[in-house]
Structures are given as C-alpha cells and as structure tokens.
Amino acid sequence: MRQSPDRGASELISVPSTVTHARSLMPRRLTIVQGHPDPHGKRLCHALADAYAEGAAAAGHEITRIEVAQLDFPILRTQEEFERGDLPETLVAARDGIVSAQHLVAIFPLWHGTMPALLKAFLEQVMRPGVALEYRKDGFPRGLLTGRSARIVVTMGMPALIYRWYFRAHGVRGLERSVLRFAGLEPVRETLLGMVDAVSDAKRRAWLERMRTYGRQLI
C-alpha cells in the first residue's frame, strides 16, 4: 500500500513564519507543531494547521506555531548529546513554546509508516531530559509535561482504516506512548486522514472545518 506525501492545498493556506505567536483577550496556550518537511508551505498539513489556528484564535486562545521545516538544527548522534548537550539556539523558542503550552498539536504526513525524519530529529532535540522528562535513580523517568493535553493529526495516502487496523498505526503509537504520554501529556487524541490524494474538495473542506472546531475547543 503506497504511503505518499500529501497533495498541495495552496488556495487554503498562507506561509507562516518559523515560530509565530498570536494573543487574544482570554487565552489558553496552544502550540501547533507543523511537521511537514516541505518549507514552501503549500501542503494539506499547512492548511490543517491554519484551520486549527483559526478556530483557536476565534475562541480567544493564545497560539504558538512551530514550522519545523523552517528551522535549522543538527541531528543528535550520541546519548551524551541527548542527555547533556546544549540545545541549539535556533530551537530555544520552539522548546519554550512546547513547555508553556496547555495544549499541543502535532501535524505531519505519514512517510514510511511514521513521521518524517525531520520531525523526529526535532522532537529528539527538544524533548530532552530536563524538558520532557527527569531521570531518577530507581524506576522510569518522571514526565515533566503533566497537566497538558495533545492531538496528533496525520495525513496519508492509504486508507486510514488500513493504517489503523492492519498496521496498528505503529508510527503514531510510538509518538503517542513513547514521547507524549511518557512526558506526561494526557489525554492524547488522534486524527488520521487517509487517501489524501484522492478525496474530493468537499471532503477536504470538511477536514478543515473539523480542525477549526477542534481549535475552538482545544481538543
């Protein structure tokens, strides 16, 4: 079953800056991590992020948006770097946006059954000990991001039911259980959008409206 990058949706979106902030009168804090690795901002993932942000802004929430494709950072190569290395200066604002968020949204296309490599490299950098978890002498690490909720939004070329039931959504489960829940986020909800190359414009509009609804409610 083919798993493809999502088709463009340029008429629905505008290109955001690398890390942008918007404030409103009675905010809760939302951070959107837009993880499509195409930096040109004309993919369905960008449109979904825009729609979620539109709904959140309409409801008066404070929004931080992180465009991973527009960030310049190295990949981690050793345990020493992960545990004790300095966070690149280019990721400090992104880290702060994640730590300060009350609700976190991660949006990305399914590539080879999981998130794109660039997004994984970003999460490895920012979700470090001292930020996402605290090592202890005995037992599992303690999550440091408790009291926050999250939603994972994934686009894919295959039918979402095939990915969910046949492949067990293994890439999404890894992010949910080994990164987000491990760091203390709860609940973590998911939206899997399949057959993105073949769906009608009406279906795409329905997806965007769903994101606006989720954004208004921060779920």
How confident is residue 11, by pLDDT bands cut at 50, 70 and 90?
very low
pLDDT at 26: 59
> For residue 175, what are its two tokens?
């992010």
**SS3 per-residue string spanning the chain:** CCCCCCCECHHHCCCCCCEEEECCCCCCEEEEEECCCCCCCCEHHHHHHHHHHHHHHHCCCEEEEEEHHHCCCCCCCCHHHHHHCCCCHHHHHHHHHHHHCCEEEEEEECECCECCHHHHHHHHHHCCECCCEECCCCCCCEECCCCCEEEEEEECCCCHHHHHHHCCCHHHHHHHHHHHHCCCCCCEEEEEECCCCCCCHHHHHHHHHHHHHHHHHCC
Please state the rounded mean pLDDT for residues 2-23. 46
Say how far apart CA 36 and CA 41 lie, in whole Å.
9
Asked if residue 24 has pLDDT above 90, the reply is no
Q: Which of 5-14, 39-48, 55-64 has the lowest mean pLDDT?
A: 5-14
Please state the rounded mean pLDDT for residues 22-26. 52
Say how far apart CA 195 and CA 163 lie, in whole Å.
11
Question: Which of 122, 120, 63, 58 is closest to 90 using CA atoms?
Answer: 122
Q: Are 48 and 153 in contact (CB under 8 A)?
A: yes
- Interaxial angle between packed helices 201-217 and 44-58, expressed in degrees from 0 to 180 and rounded to the nearest 10: 40
pTM above 0.75? yes
pLDDT at 144: 97
Residue pLDDT, tens place only, 103-151: 999 999 999 999 999 999 999 999 999 999 999 888 888 999 999 999 9
Over pLDDT 70: what percentage of the chain?
Answer: 88
Residue pLDDT, tens place only, 162-197: 999 999 999 999 999 999 999 999 999 999 999 999
Asked if residue 57 has pLDDT above 90, the reply is yes
pLDDT at 16: 47
Residue pLDDT, tens place only, 65-76: 999 999 999 999
Say how far apart CA 54 and CA 57 lie, in whole Å.
5
Positive or negative, the CA dihedral 39, 42, 48, 54 is positive
Please state the rounded mean pLDDT for residues 48-64. 97
With tokens 């408790």, the residue in question is 146
